[in-house]
Chains A and B, each alone.
Chain A
């Protein structure tokens, strides 16, 4: 997880860093001032009448007026008109935010407890999102476990991410900077840590960055394994420094004798590691819940090789 702060743009709202944001904020401003107006109206009426008509003695004769049709029609129709205006304004920004331009770069987002991964058109996968400035980006999102929701306060966008369905979201960043991406649908223990950083880059820098984070088939396996360990969210549940997170630490795992929940022991070798990834609940480590998801279909053979190569180096 990252701790990128949310930059403020005004007293109430974060900075506007996408092309969607101005329309959302315009709608916010409209409803804000309508609300302030009616609030002041109601409270003034309450205070003034309370003072003016405070009880001075017992048995005061009070007004018998119990309705005024004209007044009541007015105070029904005027708010009705105003709310219809607000509805339209909200709809405009919503349509704008719902329809992605046809030339948007498509990035696939996978949400899982409790991390994000982003797959770019060239097949690269990263744990933090990199996007070019001033280019529309469309996120095609799905979850592997429970509901999540992708939220970028400075972009004013949000959309739930659902297992078994694709949902989409688009934005066009207007400033080269780092912004926070948060999960806003409750998803359990690590919900509030399920954040990622979006790095908005100038076009050429983005392409460079994409290359640098590329598949890296040319890199040594242990190094690829190391980056897969973060991008495939292993790092969310496993430390490499011996601390216990959701799952056991990977420090010194290779070659040791592991106690299993069923009371047997097993030596951690290549086959055991492979089985741990593809069928994690087959052999469960003693003292842990069977919470590890299967990576069957998500890791290619050479990815598994790379991860194993990396794990051998974690001591």
Chain B
């Protein structure tokens, strides 16, 4: 069946037959044993949001403790455990699986007109592995906690008497979940695109996921090996990293960042993909520089493998190594900058509506630009000597990871919520939560740039009195941020009960997910779609309708 569709046709099309995926079968068991990528996506969504709530709870506790320079609500040891768990939960249980696991699983097959991912059972397995890994990691809370920081630097991690083994085994299992998802996405994109969906007719979100998947399958094994070696060192006393056993602690950092720097791209690339969707759909305009954005994702993914040493400029690696890593770091900054320019270019000549998802996308542009530019400070060798391991770094990566990825995730969630649930949320509350989020975020984290450049080290329980006003400001900001998420949660949950029924295509998008019902049927489409127009051919579509 070959046809092209206009915005209005899509919106007006009668619901196609079949039951939607939510009501297709009933009962908890039907969810736990499902191989439907949409249901798996929803279960991922609930899981990662739960992790986010937990990590956010730790964050609020930390900020509260830092309200005063000395003891506020917890002891130094508790504080050290709280920031470790905040980091571990946010990185391994939330941000890495968040967009690929939830939105990626749900939309990747639909966006290419496929019925499911290539290996649906493997997909369910990766969800189960995520749960098992999460249980391992969180079991540490009930046993002796964990106080190494999410980076597990040795020899601290090989000597502390907290639950390093539980958590590293957890992260090891989570790694497999991540690898399997990546593998599944790559094969799906290569093999299951519907007729007419060429590589360059794919929505840019999918390019983001594709680049992410490459990093996931190539880098994650290194983390797995590293953590396993750490476990061997702790349990069998094999000297690999601990100098007391004849090992090399800097080696651990090389191994760790060889994964964890690319992991930064696992976290941000899917978010960048979402932003391309949000801006194009809500500006009703063809993406400016489609190929530049698509290829820059892949370029970032590949060059991103060669810059890990910029985490180690003062760690005791050779000066020559530091110089090379600094140079390559500047190179990897360019494609990210190019993307920002392209997004701004996509606003030019558009017809922009400012619905909540678009407001989140614009917030992203603002916050991510700050996050990216402050990264350039840290890439400069001499400036990094001063800023390394201060709050400047904390602020920088929160601007990228939260201001970037979380903003994109939340924006994407609002954008696709009607499609996933079949319900519309309150636009007013959504705008309110976005405003609170934007204000709270900047109040919390911009202050931290200033503290850092003035010399406030990170991971400090006690701090010099002179930093108190800034710390207090940051803590107040965190409360606004917390409130933003409560409003958002209320709004989304409330829509499930009281929201209006969502139309097929509330925003006038042209990619395939807007052609199927809201919520979609189990098979995604009643007929295999045949696509002739690209996902962003807005001008042509409007013209065709006019004639």
Residues of A bordering B, CB below 8 Å: 3, 5-6, 8, 11-14, 23-24, 27-28, 31-32, 34-35, 38-39, 42-43, 45-46, 49-50, 53-56, 59-67, 71-72, 75-76, 79-80, 83-84, 86-87, 89-98, 145-147, 149, 151, 153-154, 156-160, 162-165, 167, 180, 182-193, 289
Contact = CB atoms under 8 A, between A and B. Distances in A.
Residue among B153, B349, B455 with most chain A CB within 10 A? B455
A184 B390 contact: yes
B46 interface: no
A165 to B, nearest CB: 6
Interface of B: 7, 76-77, 80, 147, 149, 153, 155-156, 159-161, 243-244, 248-250, 283-292, 313-316, 319, 322-323, 326-327, 330-331, 333-334, 337-338, 340-341, 344-345, 347-354, 362, 365-366, 369-370, 373-374, 376-377, 379-386, 388-390, 450, 453-455, 457-466, 536, 538-540, 542-543, 545-546
A45 B344 contact: yes
Contact of A188 (B80, B288, B316): B80
Given A83-B376, A98-B319, A165-B243, A62 B351 contact: yes
A23 B338 CA distance: 30
Contacts of B316: 159-160, 162, 165, 167
Given A35-B377, A63-B350, A91 B286 contact: no
A264 to B, nearest CB: 24
A182 B340 CA distance: 38
Contacts of B464: 3, 5-6, 180
Counting from the closest, the 6 A-B pairs by CB-CB distance are A93-B382, A63-B349, A153-B455, A164-B243, A90-B380, A94-B381
B349 A189 contact: no
Nearest to A35: B373
A61 B546 CA distance: 10
Given A66-B290, A67-B288, A87-B326, A46 B382 contact: no
A56 to B, nearest CB: 8
A102 to B, nearest CB: 17
A145 B242 CA distance: 10
A57 B76 CA distance: 58
Nearest to B7: A59
A125 B547 CA distance: 89
Given A90-B384, A185-B153, 8 more contacts: A28-B383, A46-B344, A54-B352, A75-B338, A89-B380, A94-B319, A95-B319, A186-B459
13 contacts: A5-B464, A8-B454, A14-B455, A24-B383, A38-B373, A43-B369, A67-B289, A87-B330, A93-B381, A94-B382, A146-B159, A158-B388, A186-B153
Given A35-B376, A63-B349, A165-B243, A46 B366 contact: yes
Contact of B327 (A43, A87, A92, A163): A87
B373 A60 contact: no
B347 A83 contact: no
Contacts of A59: 7, 542, 545-546
A152 to B, nearest CB: 9
Contacts of A53: 283, 347-352
Nearest to A157: B385
Nearest to A12: B453
B330 A60 contact: no
